[in-house]
Copies of this chain bind each other. A is one copy, B any other.
Amino acid sequence: MHEQEIIFTQQVSGEIDRQVQAMSPSRVFVLADSNTSHFVLPALQSESAAVRNAQVITIPSGDINKDLTSLQSVWKSLTDAHASRYDVLINVGGGVVTDLGGFAAATYKRGIRFINVPTTLLGAVDAAVGGKTGINLGGFKNQVGAFSNACAVIISTTYFGTLTRDELLSGYAEMIKHAMLTGAEAFGETMTYDISETPGDSDELLSLLEKSVKVKRDIVAADPTEHGIRKALNLGHTVGHALESLAMRRQSPIPHGFAVAYGLVVESILSHIQLGFPSPTLHTLADYVNRHYSSMHFTCEDYPELLQLMSQDKKNRDADHINFTLLRDLGEPQTDCTASGKDIRDALDIYRDMAGI
């Protein structure tokens, strides 16, 4: 995969035009969802010549629409417009748009170039960087996709001012994860910054975000296709994805980052059981998550389904060994850990106890 440039700026339109000019495509397409096409595109269209002249493709918003139907509609729009292999797709939106748009671009005519403009904190810190593209299929998250880098990722907090508290918190869970992978100082910083009391579109957040994205970028650069250290980025996600899928099956979806926040706590408990992750740090984390993130109700009767969902995780070699990234301590991830059903049930018990559910 080619390198991808990550630009942190509050002048998004100018940066888009600079990037597009450097790529000299025949034509430009913009992918937005039903939210960003209303709330973000008008400003971009008035300020950026590239966006103004682009053909806009819109998909419905929401993770439920990160599906084959939306993907097909993007492929069809590009086909109907006779988009060439030399054209460029600009994905303007949250993780749904950058994941699905990235996959559409990676596969249309076997690959056209694309630019990501994440408009949510979660999209900026996680989805838009790292080359993971894809869609959900058959009830499983990101079941099909490709590793494909954007040519450029333009990160700004400009669009975060209109995000809800839940949306900001959702992205912030990934920043906590990055901090946990980094060390005590970074972790402390995230535990003292209060995202729910701060306006989203602040330069202070942009600066924190830059540090956070750097953690991910460095790990991805060392292992683009996730056969080694990149698995560290899955911290919190084996349990998080299972909770997210369970919620989706119950028709009451929860934000991705909330699932990750709960997953970080459960996997920190597992880390404590298996690797002696320090109990005080675990409690600091659990307190922060309890205080800021509402909880998801589940009981021990849901454990078999949760375990089955974890066994479907992409990181597993087979259904009998569920793969986790755990932590010996802050900044000391250990990839390719496995846990027995008993340990996982114990951790879920302790978590429910800590969360009061």
Query: Measuring CB to CB, which residues of chain A are less than 8 angstroms from any residue of chain B?
Result: 26-27, 68, 72, 75-76, 79-80, 82, 84-86, 106-111, 132-134, 137-138, 140, 142-147, 225-226, 311-312, 314-319
Q: Whose C-beta in chain B lies nearest to the C-beta of A107?
A: B144
* Inter-chain contact A82/B314, CB cutoff 8 Å: no
Q: Whose C-beta in chain B lies nearest to the C-beta of A112?
A: B314
Q: Which residues of B contact A144 (CB under 8 A)?
A: 75, 107-110
* Inter-chain contact B318/A146, CB cutoff 8 Å: no
* Inter-chain contact A317/B26, CB cutoff 8 Å: yes
Known: A79-B140, A82-B312, A111-B225. 13 other contacts (CB 8 A): A79-B137, A79-B138, A82-B318, A82-B319, A84-B316, A84-B317, A85-B317, A109-B314, A110-B132, A110-B134, A110-B145, A110-B146, A146-B146
Q: In the complex, what's the smallest C-beta–C-beta distance from A83 to chain B, in angstroms?
A: 10
Query: Given contacts A82-B319, A314-B85, A317-B86, is CB(A76)–CB(B107) below 8 Å?
Result: no
Interface of A is mostly: mixed
Name 23 A/B residue pairs within 8 A (Cβ), A-sorted: A26-B318, A68-B68, A75-B138, A75-B143, A76-B137, A76-B138, A79-B143, A80-B138, A84-B314, A85-B315, A85-B316, A86-B317, A86-B318, A107-B107, A107-B134, A107-B146, A109-B145, A109-B314, A110-B142, A110-B146, A111-B147, A111-B225, A146-B146
- A27–B111 Cα distance when bound, in Å, is 30
Query: Given contacts A145-B110, A146-B110, is CB(A27)–CB(B140) below 8 Å?
Result: no
* Inter-chain contact B72/A68, CB cutoff 8 Å: yes
Q: Which residues of B contact A80 (CB under 8 A)?
A: 138
Q: Which residues of B contact A143 (CB under 8 A)?
A: 75, 79, 108-109
* Inter-chain contact A318/B108, CB cutoff 8 Å: no
- A80–B137 Cα distance when bound, in Å, is 11
Q: In the complex, what's the smallest C-beta–C-beta distance from A306 to chain B, in angstroms?
A: 16
**What 8 A-B pairs come out closest when comparing CB atoms?**
A109-B314, A107-B144, A110-B145, A26-B318, A86-B317, A79-B138, A26-B317, A82-B319
